[in-house]
Amino acid sequence: MSLFSCKSSKREWKPLEDHSCTDVPWLLLFILFCIGMGFICGFTIATGAAARLLSGYDSYGNICGQKNVKVEGIVNSGLDLTQKKYVFFLDPCNIDLVHQKIKSLALCVSACPRKELKTLADVQKFAETNGSNLCSYELLPSEYTTDPRAAKLCPKYPVPESAPIPFFHRCAPVNISCYAKFAEALITLVSDSSVLHRLISGVMTSKEIIMGLCLLSLVLSMILMVIIRYISRVLVWILTILVILGSLGGTGVLWWLYAKERMSASAVETQIAKENLQALLIYAISATVFTVVLLLIMLVMRKRVALTIALFHVAGKVFIHLPLLVFQPFWTFFVLILFWTYWTTVLLFLGTTGNPVPNEEGFVEFRMAGPLKYMWWYHVVGLIWISEFILACQQMTVAGAVVTYYFTREKRNLPFTPILASVNRLVCYHLGTVAKGSFIITLVKIPRMILMYIHTQLKGKENACARCMLKACICCLWCLEKCLTYLNQNAYTATAINSTNFCTSAKDAFVILVENALRVAAINTVGDFMLFLGKVLIVCSTGLAGIMLLNYQRDYTTWVLPLIIVCLFAFLVAHCFLSIYEMVVDVLFLCFAIDTKYNDGSPGREFYMDKVLMEFVENSRKSMREAGRGGGAEGRELKPMASGASSS
């Protein structure tokens, strides 16, 4: 009985020996789903939505720049507008937030007004000079100043200076004050509109500095990746020291700037100076609290980094042998940008798809009837599933390359390009597994997004109990999504090792992770925390540079928003780079756990692991023996995973 249970509980792991197709039905289902996405795109183009989106159309259903067909019951429809290629809105700054559209009469015109027109006489002169009629079609230019209907059928003046949007043939106001009004309507938390105007002017004034700081964050992220490759053994301590110095230095600089600003506040009593002084105080207090919490966490976790340091060292070797791993975020980001561009374009097509229907104002709207009006739901599911599929392909590619590195005893015998070999295995054998894993994440994300949308729509209307339940459900789904994402990543690693289907790989990976729960917790706390410190280092460095540069504009620019934009961009860039390193460490850990479970270093059962990890195994065995005599908790935590040898 014990022999049977032993055999059934142990699975034969044969790294990279077998290659077979996995989860083929799910690949077929994913292909059918993508064909459905293509059908939506083709349907929108075939029904003329693409022409309406790109060329633009007026309020009577006429597409600008071409001859049109008469719409029954709509005056001014079916016009020949071959010479009128641009859409002009009589009141472009009037936004209907409920229906998310410009609440204004739209016309097709020959040219956009390139200068401000202050009166109807100027509009009339513009029509006579440029041949572009900015009033409704039934009014002749000679009637602009005499016909009483002109107040309703002519643009609201002063008519702002406009320029056509490239590729979309819409006349858009050049002055940013109009866009500030858009933002004022969207941001309901800002009660004083002048504050928003100053924030937007601060961004526009500091745009060169913002671009330079974003480039700086990109350079710092690449430098940190290079440093990780060559000094991974001491990386943890270097990052710890730098983050401590950076957080202390940044906090000190913020308090120094606050004191300096407060001393000079009496000399410059402007609203902008007061806002900057208040922002500096908030920044300084936040930085102080963050620094204290950071130091306490480092103090508690200082003794729990032995395996993390060993894995980081091996991860550094992986990047030396597989330098193309550094560029994985670029390819993934590039593919995501292409897909998101396609998805957004089709979504815009969907917004102009349908049959022309007169609305309550007598103008034309394009609406879909029947089941077709739910196509955008299918399109939204496609956004989530295909985006997750692309990210999962990156995870499988990285897992396959790292698995190839780990389970190749002679590193000189590695394939010429392990990354391309991993991509080849993914495309030939494991796309179905990736499709299934990404679909599971999609099933969790969709309900969470629906609940978040409901919570947003009911804000201020639901009672406290309903609000609490909604937030609890959203939080639970978020936690479930993170757990499934971590399990999926390990399932992809198991698939890359044994070429098993998703469910089998997920079960095998889950068993290994449960058997090593303490070490999983240590890696996911210490390792992820160290990488988080790297992100903090890049954000702090970029933010400090931003404070020093933007400080020279403090008397005439509110630089709160520019600094927030720069810091967010810096964090996203650092996350893209360091997430690859985090992925490599997680894959190495699962390989290490499998290696130590089924091998013990004896002849015929030699370890695959690097010498650094072998040293850790020996040290942990020694610590276990010492802890066995002393009964300490540290020994229990460092218990080696080579129990498979002893149990057999």
> Phi and psi of 580, rounded to 5°?
-65, -45
Nearest in space to 438 (alpha carbons), one of 475, 398, 400, 491: 491
231 neighbors 320 (Cβ within 8 angstroms): no
Could you report the per-residue pLDDT of 616-641, keeping only the tens digit for each? 666 666 665 665 554 444 444 444 43
DSSP-derived 3-state class of residue 193: helix
Confidence of residue 184 (pLDDT cuts 50, 70, 90): very low
pLDDT score of 235: 66
Could you report the per-residue pLDDT of 291-301, keeping only the tens digit for each? 888 777 767 66
Q: How far apart are CA 140 and CA 144, in angstroms?
A: 7
116 neighbors 160 (Cβ within 8 angstroms): yes
pTM of the shown model: 0.72
Could you report the per-residue pLDDT of 102-142, keeping only the tens digit for each? 567 888 888 888 888 888 888 888 888 888 888 888 888 88
Could you report the per-residue pLDDT of 233-253, keeping only the tens digit for each? 676 677 677 777 877 887 888
Q: How far apart are CA 645 and CA 634, in angstroms?
A: 23
pLDDT at 478 over 50: yes
Distance of CA 20 to the CA centre of its chain: 33
Stretch (H or E) spanning 18: none
Q: How far apart are CA 422 and CA 406, in angstroms?
A: 13
Q: How far apart are CA 42 and CA 44, in angstroms?
A: 6
pLDDT at 306 over 80: no
- Would you give the end-to-end CA distance of the chain in angstroms? 14
pLDDT at 351 over 60: yes
